[in-house]
């Protein structure tokens, strides 16, 4: 209510506010005060010797390293807690992870034995790994009951990696068979 009365007063007397100017004596007093103020003396410049700068840099680097390792430790502890929660929710998960990682390793070794450009395959696998990390992060914040679905998605991600590797290995095998047939036909001619 008061706010409305204030607005009404300001709107009714706006012209009076626009014409108001401070008296000249006030400006003169302000200018005298400004002239009397002396500029502050700046602090003396201190030149830091090289060895002191080096010590500071080493200290900062040490703090960064300690912070980095502390962060890694906390992340590992959090990851361990998440995995413990997963194993509690689904006791067979650890065995499933071992199995799928073994299968993936076997296929990666077979893939490594072939020559050729593998970057696209590795990028696809890296994308699946990113999705798996996101799922693990979600798992730590998942509400009760949602863990099973996230674990199922994690297992599905492992299967996806195996499927990608299987298809790639199958395509490579077919290409090699076609190349050997072509070479045999050329030799026969």
Res 52: pLDDT: 80
Domain residue extents for the chain: 52-181
- Specify the pLDDT at position 49: 79
- pLDDT recorded at residue 90: 65
Q: What is the pLDDT of residue 3?
A: 66
**Alpha carbon of residue 176 to chain centroid:** 40
Question: 106-131 pLDDT, tens per residue?
Answer: 888 888 887 776 777 788 888 888 88
Which residues neighbour 128 within 8 Å (Cβ) at sequence distance 6 or greater?
157, 160, 161, 164
Residue 135: the pLDDT is 80
Q: Are 156 and 149 in contact (CB under 8 A)?
A: no
**Quick one: DSSP state of residue 115?**
-
Looking at residue 73, what is its pLDDT? 82
Residue 115 tokens read as 């020559």
pLDDT tens digits for 28-57?
Answer: 888 888 877 665 656 677 777 778 888 888
Quick check: 153 and 95 in contact, CB under 8 A?
Answer: no
First to last CA, the chain: 104
Report whether 169 contacts 111 (CB < 8 A).
yes
CA-to-CA separations, 177 to 101, 123, 180, in angstroms, rounded:
29, 26, 5
Which ranges of the chain have pLDDT less than 70?
Answer: 1-3, 20, 37-43, 76, 78-91, 117, 140, 185-189
- Tokens 């890694």, located at residue: 72
The predicted model scores a pTM of 0.48
Distances (CA, A) of 117 to 114, 121, 169: 9, 8, 13
CA-angle at 61, arms to 56 and 67, nearest 5° = 125
| Distance between CA atoms of residues 89 and 131, nearest Å | 20
């Amino acid at each position: 209510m008061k706010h409305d009365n204030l607005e009404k007063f300001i709107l009714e007397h706006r012209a009076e506010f626009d014409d108001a100017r401070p008296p000249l004596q006030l400006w003169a007093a302000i200018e005298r005060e400004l002239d009397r103020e002396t500029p502050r003396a700046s602090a003396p410049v201190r030149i830091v010797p090289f060895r002191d700068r080096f010590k500071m840099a080493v200290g900062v680097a040490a703090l960064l390293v300690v912070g980095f390792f502390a962060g890694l430790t906390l992340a590992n502890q959090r990851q361990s807690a998440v995995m413990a929660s997963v194993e509690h929710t689904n006791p067979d998960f650890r065995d499933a992870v071992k199995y799928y990682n073994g299968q993936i390793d076997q296929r990666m070794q077979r893939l490594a034995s072939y020559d050729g450009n593998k970057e696209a395959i590795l990028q696809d696998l890296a994308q699946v790994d990113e999705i798996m990390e996101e799922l693990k992060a979600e798992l730590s914040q998942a509400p009760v009951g949602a863990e099973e679905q996230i674990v199922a998605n994690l297992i599905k991600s492992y299967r996806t990696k195996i499927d990608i590797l299987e298809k790639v290995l199958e395509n490579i095998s077919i290409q090699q068979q076609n190349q050997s047939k072509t070479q045999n036909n050329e030799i026969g001619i």
